[in-house]
């Protein structure tokens, strides 16, 4: 069995396709391209493909990750080209590499994601100060409890690694957010924006913000963040540090 990992973009109208529909699209592309994909064992075998960390509907991305195990060896660039031939506009594979095959996948290595959000402000409104916002003892969001289906408050301060804000030439504001993004706990950037806008009493609809995921990160043995793509070429990433 051979394992390949490649990045892909998700832009334009493709930001409105769900994670499940995206997975179906990729599986159809694999079959259409005649790629000899591996299958899991058991009573209900499925293709050994994986999209690392689902992206929320409506968000764009510069760097998502796709893993595929194949029965036959392939030249990585040719494999990505085969898949790209079946992709609609807005989805494109790039930076394919062959990696060591393990029983784990990259979803279990991922601990953080870097996002940027672009939004407009009225002329008489000051740009939000991330330092002041993060200075709160607690930062709450409102979300629906999975079991009770009731709205509850949740403190998300520990899920925020870094925030920075800058003014753009077109008059908009760009907020960069390094947020928790692991298999067992994830912070949606839209929820953080809602909390930020509420704190500064800004009349901004999160749906009017353009949110893009820039990359996914793992933690090395020293707790430093490393792009998932760099870990593919760095075998000494400690599994014990992954969330």
pLDDT digits (tens, 9 = 90+) for 114-145: 999 999 988 778 889 999 999 999 999 988 87
pLDDT digits (tens, 9 = 90+) for 163-189: 999 998 888 999 999 999 998 899 999
112-229: what fold? Alpha-Beta Plaits (3.30.70)
- Prediction pTM value: 0.90
Distance CA 87, CA 180 (A): 30
Q: Can you list the residues of the chain whose pLDDT is less than 50?
A: 234-243
Round the average pLDDT of the chain to a whole number and report it.
91
Instruction: Kindly list the domain boundaries of the chain, sorted by start residue.
Output: 2-108, 112-229
Q: If one looks up domain 2-108 in CATH, what number appears?
A: 3.30.70.580
Q: Which DSSP string do the residues of 156-220 spell out, in sequence order?
A: -GGGEEEEEEEE-TTSEEEEEEEEEB-SS-B--HHHHHHHHHHHTT----GGGSEEEEEEEEEE-
pLDDT at 43 (0 to 100): 87
Distance CA 47, CA 30 (A): 10
2-108 and 112-229 have identical folds? yes
């Amino acid at each position: 069995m051979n394992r390949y990992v490649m990045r892909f973009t998700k832009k334009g109208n493709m930001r409105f396709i769900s994670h499940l529909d995206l997975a179906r699209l990729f599986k159809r592309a694999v079959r259409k391209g005649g790629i000899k994909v591996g299958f899991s064992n058991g009573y209900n075998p499925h293709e050994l493909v994986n999209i690392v960390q689902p992206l929320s509907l409506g968000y764009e991305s510069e760097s998502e990750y796709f893993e595929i195990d194949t029965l036959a060896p392939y030249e990585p660039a040719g494999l990505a080209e085969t898949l790209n031939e079946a992709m609609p506009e807005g989805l494109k594979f790039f930076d394919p590499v062959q990696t060591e095959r393990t029983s784990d996948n990259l979803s279990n290595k991922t601990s953080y994601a870097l996002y940027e959000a672009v939004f407009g402000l009225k002329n008489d409104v000051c740009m939000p100060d991330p330092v002041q916002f993060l200075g709160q003892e607690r930062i709450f969001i409102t979300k629906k409890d999975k079991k009770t289906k009731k709205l509850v408050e949740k403190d998300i301060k520990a899920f925020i690694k870094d925030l920075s804000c800058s003014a753009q030439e077109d008059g908009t504001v760009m907020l960069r957010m390094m947020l928790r993004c692991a298999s067992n706990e994830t912070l949606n950037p839209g929820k953080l924006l809602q909390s930020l806008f509420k704190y500064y009493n800004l009349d901004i609809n999160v749906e009017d913000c353009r949110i893009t995921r820039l990359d996914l990160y793992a933690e090395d043995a020293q707790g430093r963040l490393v792009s998932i793509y760099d870990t593919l070429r760095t075998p000494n990433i400690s599994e014990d540090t992954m969330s």
